[in-house]
Chains A and B, each alone.
Chain A
């Protein structure tokens, strides 16, 4: 596994895949990576006031989701924010 991982990371195919994923987020949402980064930072700042979160595991992206009102799919801001600890008292 480790051996193939080594090659996987090195291959330019994976570089292409990662670059595409990033560029498509902004293409799909009409929203640049810079703005996404700002949104991410703002979310971190707000939530960190109340909850200790895992910044490493944090994932924010724009995805497609089924709309409840009409049949089409609509873009949605998806945030996966792992919680490390609930801050019971604010210091």
Chain B
């Protein structure tokens, strides 16, 4: 019986889609059968981040409306034998789907998949309600900024009100150099404010931009962000993994780069 996980944040641009792509791919690397669902109807993005944009035939709305079977709409990622994507519709809007329909779809996918990941749109309207409807647990993504944390708090409140069984926090795009000099909230600060258990800390890593450019998630790679995402995947499946020391692992190369940025 598969588990349905929604990746959400409230605020836009904090890394929901990147997180969905990397956590989903990482889970597939760990031999789990995974389907990623882009629930952002009208603003489809997960397909380009995954590098599967050229293979879309049918989409989420087609499946919901019964124009095609689920298996016909699922895109198989050829790089990983266990990874599938259900893309969103680009030409429709959020009201094309109801929470009840999403729940039904998620329940149908449970039989075949170990993990069903929902990439939630920004905001707290219909799209958000659709994405969380069938979910067993939530990953709330935030960055260490006041606006993102405030929105995350609102989202966490709404998840509680909707009786989400499990909610975990991912602090994304943290910059240890700024935390160290006191100019950025640490993951502990964010965690303390939001009072939710932390499941991952992802450093601000330019490799994310590079990997997104190529349509290839960087989870499992040697980069800091790649390691951080793989650790999140392991925690999702129940392994206990210590948090990365984001400062220590920054080698000479990183330090040189850090210095250059300051100038």
A positions within 8 Å CB-CB of B = 7-8, 10-14, 16-17, 19-21, 23-24, 27-28, 64, 72-73
Contacts and interface: CB of A to CB of B under 8 A. Distances in A.
Contacts of A72: 160, 163
27 contacts: A7-B181, A7-B182, A8-B182, A10-B182, A11-B181, A11-B183, A13-B144, A13-B179, A13-B183, A13-B184, A13-B185, A13-B186, A13-B189, A14-B182, A16-B144, A17-B185, A17-B193, A20-B149, A20-B193, A23-B146, A24-B153, A24-B193, A27-B153, A27-B154, A72-B160, A72-B163, A73-B160
A12 B195 contact: no
A19, A24, A73 — most chain B CB neighbours (10 Å): A24
Interface in B148-196: 149-150, 153-154, 157, 160, 163, 178-179, 181-186, 189, 193, 195
B189 A17 contact: yes
Interface of B: 144-146, 149-150, 153-154, 157, 160, 163, 178-179, 181-186, 189, 193, 195
Contacts of A8: 182
B157 to A, nearest CB: 7
